[in-house]
Structure 1
Amino acid sequence: MNRKLVKFSIVLIVWMFCPDYLLHAQENFVKQSGTQFTINGKPYNYVGTNYWYGGLLALKGKEGKKRLKKELNFLKKNGVNNLRVMVGAEGVLEYKYSVPHADALQPQKGIYRDSILYGLDYLLNEMEKRNMKAVLHFTNTWDWSGGLGQYLEWNGYSPQLHSKVENYDWNKYRDYITQFYKCEPCKDDVDNYIKYVLKHKNSINGINYVSDPTIMSWQIINEPRPMRTVNNQPFLDWIKNTASLIKSIDSNHLLSTGSEGDIASDNDMTIYKAMHADENIDYLTIHMWPKNWGWFKDTAMNANMDTIFKKAEIYTEKHVAIAQELNKPLVIEEFGMPRDLSSFDTASPTNNRNLFYKKVFSLQTKHTIIAGTNFWAFGGLARPIEGQIFWKEGDDYMGDPGGEEQGLNSVFSSDKATWKIIKLFSKKLKN
């Protein structure tokens, strides 16, 4: 038989019968190489955004898909190629500010809806067409998507406490959520949910999630917190065990924690370091929230910008030091700032926000170990409804989840001055 024909036959047989995860084993996946990310051996640095609702838009019929495509095209045009997205919401979600029951991936304990995961399938397929990468977080510390409190409630604990309700108490919320780390059936439920997602095959392009290079990284949870020091070790054990589970199923993708930094553990850096020292965690993350963390008061941003910049430098640099010690990349994966005078009006200026974005981008330039930034959050084509502060079911999703004022931190497609800064920095990174 002709030698060339034999070679062709072998290649054809491999192509026909080899699993897709082997065919894609090294191609186009984001990898960690010391303190940097690479794709096919070349450095990968990025400007990204948080698009938590991206996997829900395709569930809204033709108009939802149309909006999604327009927004992805807009992001691509403006140099944003990395999207941090929620995998799915959990629970009955009767809380009026949460993702509604109709959009919950896990509406009841152990019940998963492929019809909802279709939205993420659609998003990933559209992102692949545009050469974009996704960071996907499984669950949430906060109640706007169900999160850890929902697993407690499913396993016999009292109904979870919600924010933005009468008599809300932050310390009681902490006491409630911290119980998760000693709730074995709760942790089993999260494991089962993760297994369901990791074993999923994209219903549109037929690619197994574990074999899809469009996914840059899985993320255990959005903003993990032990909540109480008494549960620091159970918290670390849960992070470690969950990371091990994910990597045992999917060794193709990077894995991250979703951490805000040491503020999540009452400024105890040993907890942050221990989380990220784990061999299964590929890079470090931090978030920065000047308003939420009291770096300025109310509308007094103008008078406090120098203080905000200084605190941003200090917070970033102490986490950079840990990243250097662990020899892993760092990503500033959430950072946000209200519009001037804390207005929710899209016609209001964003001068202070723009200055803060410039500051964060300058930190990425200064510290090459910072391989990526994801601003919070992309509001896209949605707009706040005049006279209505909070989201209600049926409204368009935007960057601000239901429990937050609509327009608080969202960067809308109409925010031209902000997009100019983002696009300029993205070009600078490429060069």
Structure 2
Amino acid sequence: MKLYLLIIYIISCIVFTSCKNNSSINKNNTLEIKDTIKLISIKNTAFYKGNKPYYFVGANYWYGPLIATKSIGDRDRLIKELNLMKEIGIDNLRILVGAEGDGGDSRVHPALQPKQGKYNVDLLDGLDFLLFEMRKRNMYAVLYLNNNWIWSGGMSQYLEWNGYGTAPNPFLEEYSWNDYMNYTKQFHTCKPCKEAYYKHLKFIIGRTNTYTGKKYNEDNVIMSWQVANEPRVLISPNHETAFADWLNETVSIIQSLDSTHLISTGTEGKHGFLQDMEMFERLHENKDIDYLTMHMWPKNWGWYDINNESKSTLTSIEKANNYMNEHIIIAKKLNKPIVMSEFGFPREKESLSINASVENRNTFYNAIFNKIIESKKTNGALAGLNFWGFAGYAKTNEENGKWKHGDDFTADPPQEPQGLNSVFASDITTLELIKKANEKVLNY
């Protein structure tokens, strides 16, 4: 019994000393942690963690704040998933700050802003908790603040809130993608929409984390702010001027609120600019846009053929390399790093079963990983990857893939078949590829 008490005493002393050296309780009874996590900065075409180049293979984890909540979340799942990602070398997560609207029509539910300017305090707490747990593991967050697409509300929800009628949801039979994009492009010239969005920026960027006592704009766990998920010049080149005005104004506001952290647009690359590389370049010359992004979707872009998977996987790799290369050229020209911040690939025959083969996905992933490994070797401008996406221990309905309120969140947004592009904890071969890639990126 005496030995047992002695052991407990020693452990308590170690824990207390560790906590005392790295944190303290302030007058508001919040835990203030000394910054042992280093700020991510930029020098020419490279990210730096402290004084060392930082290249990464990370993940999209858009739903992290949702499962981090006390009410509808699953913090046990969150902790297991963060631990697993850290174990395979993932230390960079791309995260949705929060959704907007009522969660209808296959949209994210619950939303951070169920009504304009009104916040779900539990989801704010979830975002705080997620960043707190990431800090413990020296992981970095890329936080996107809006969405071009309806699945999280985004720009179309701001338009609904400000008198532009009901958004034409392209996932409903009566509407087309052109209907949706013609509607959504109005956001960039909608004065009350932009004013509401800028108030949201000020609210989030100026927030203080309730678990650490740190303001977001002073917290090194945040690597960067992204203006939006896949903002686009929509329908016509004539839309470029309105888009550019909105983009530059938004970047300027973020810079004024937080001059410490990095800023990127969150774009897909030329695919979001009417396939016009010169437009992509023009819209990223802004000195306050710190790095470039691009996305890659072989299935959505018609590169991958479900009826000829082996051959079209190789075609996808060839086209992916060409797509990356032309964007890397622009990154070098602008003297900025570039990140492939989304890329996804389905399972065999686009199956939703977690037991379906991921051989073709692994082949595609491995080719993309080789690109970042080579870039690290040569101090190249391709500085990071975030695959889409990590679904961890989520449980899905393999029969129909539908998502409904209360179901587990996966990497696939609510309107898409659940499990289609998701990497689960049971995808051992894919996780091994990710781990080996991160080891190579770290050690070269």
- TM (norm. structure 1) is 0.92
Q: Could you tell me how far 1:383 is from its partner in structure 2?
A: 2.5
Aligned to 2:11: none
Structure 2 counterparts to residues 218-367 of structure 1, below 5 A:
218-228=225-235, 229-367=237-375
Q: Could you tell me how far 1:167 is from its partner in structure 2?
A: 2.3
The separation in 2 between residues aligned to 1:62 and 1:90, in whole angstroms, is: 17
Aligned to 1:32: 42
Query: Does residue 421 of structure 2 align to residue 409 of structure 1?
Result: yes
SS of the residue corresponding to residue 90 of structure 1 reads coil
Q: How many residues align?
A: 410
Aligned to 1:5: none
Aligned to 1:108: 115
Stretch of structure 1 that moved more, 192-201 or 104-113: 104-113
Match among 169, 174, 181 for residue 188 of structure 2 = 181
Contact 1:58–1:64 (8 Å) recurs in 2: yes
- Please list every run of 5 or more consecutive structure 2 residues that lacks an aligned counterpart in the other structure: 1-25, 28-32
Q: Could you tell me how far 1:25 is from its partner in structure 2?
A: 9.6
Q: Letter of the aligned partner of 1:173 in structure 2?
A: Y
The separation in 1 between residues aligned to 2:148 and 2:442, in whole angstroms, is: 34
Query: Does residue 93 of structure 2 align to residue 86 of structure 1?
Result: no
Stretch of structure 1 that moved more, 139-148 or 302-311: 302-311
Q: Could you tell me how far 1:109 is from its partner in structure 2?
A: 1.4
Contact 1:383–1:407 (8 Å) recurs in 2: no
SS of the residue corresponding to residue 379 of structure 1 reads strand
Q: Could you tell me how far 1:246 is from its partner in structure 2?
A: 0.3
Q: Letter of the aligned partner of 1:121 in structure 2?
A: D
Q: Letter of the aligned partner of 1:259 in structure 2?
A: T
The separation in 2 between residues aligned to 1:261 and 1:365, in whole angstroms, is: 21
Aligned to 1:12: none
Aligned to 2:86: 76
SS of the residue corresponding to residue 284 of structure 2 reads helix
- TM (norm. structure 2) is 0.89
Query: Does residue 381 of structure 2 align to residue 369 of structure 1?
Result: yes
The separation in 1 between residues aligned to 2:72 and 2:420, in whole angstroms, is: 28
Q: Letter of the aligned partner of 2:310 in structure 1?
A: N
Q: Could you tell me how far 1:60 is from its partner in structure 2?
A: 4.8
Q: Could you tell me how far 1:24 is from its partner in structure 2?
A: 8.1
Aligned to 1:57: 67
Query: Does residue 105 of structure 2 align to residue 122 of structure 1?
Result: no
Contact 1:217–1:253 (8 Å) recurs in 2: yes
SS of the residue corresponding to residue 216 of structure 1 reads strand
1:224-243 per-position Cα deviation (integer Å, ceiling 9, x unaligned):
11212221111011111100
Aligned to 2:107: 98
Aligned to 2:6: none
Structure 2 counterparts to residues 136-175 of structure 1, below 5 A:
136-175=143-182
Contact 1:26–1:40 (8 Å) recurs in 2: no
Q: Letter of the aligned partner of 2:415 in structure 1?
A: G
Q: Could you tell me how far 1:299 is from its partner in structure 2?
A: 4.0
Match among 201, 205, 215 for residue 198 of structure 1 = 205
SS of the residue corresponding to residue 75 of structure 1 reads helix
The separation in 2 between residues aligned to 1:67 and 1:313, in whole angstroms, is: 35
Q: CA RMSD in A?
A: 2.0
SS of the residue corresponding to residue 280 of structure 1 reads coil
Q: Could you tell me how far 1:297 is from its partner in structure 2?
A: 2.8
Q: Could you tell me how far 1:148 is from its partner in structure 2?
A: 0.4
1:388-422 per-position Cα deviation (integer Å, ceiling 9, x unaligned):
32111110001001011011100000001101110
The separation in 2 between residues aligned to 1:260 and 1:300, in whole angstroms, is: 26
Contact 2:58–2:91 (8 Å) recurs in 1: yes
Stretch of structure 1 that moved more, 396-405 or 163-172: 163-172
Q: Could you tell me how far 1:104 is from its partner in structure 2?
A: 1.2
Q: Letter of the aligned partner of 1:38 in structure 2?
A: Y
Q: Could you tell me how far 1:27 is from its partner in structure 2?
A: 7.0
The separation in 1 between residues aligned to 2:209 and 2:186, in whole angstroms, is: 35
SS of the residue corresponding to residue 363 of structure 1 reads helix
User: Once superposed, which parts of structure 1, at least 4 consecutive aligned residues long, lie more than 6 Å away?
Assistant: 23-27
Q: Could you tell me how far 1:358 is from its partner in structure 2?
A: 0.7
The separation in 2 between residues aligned to 1:175 and 1:104, in whole angstroms, is: 24
The separation in 2 between residues aligned to 1:299 and 1:51, in whole angstroms, is: 30
Aligned to 1:419: 431
Aligned to 1:9: none
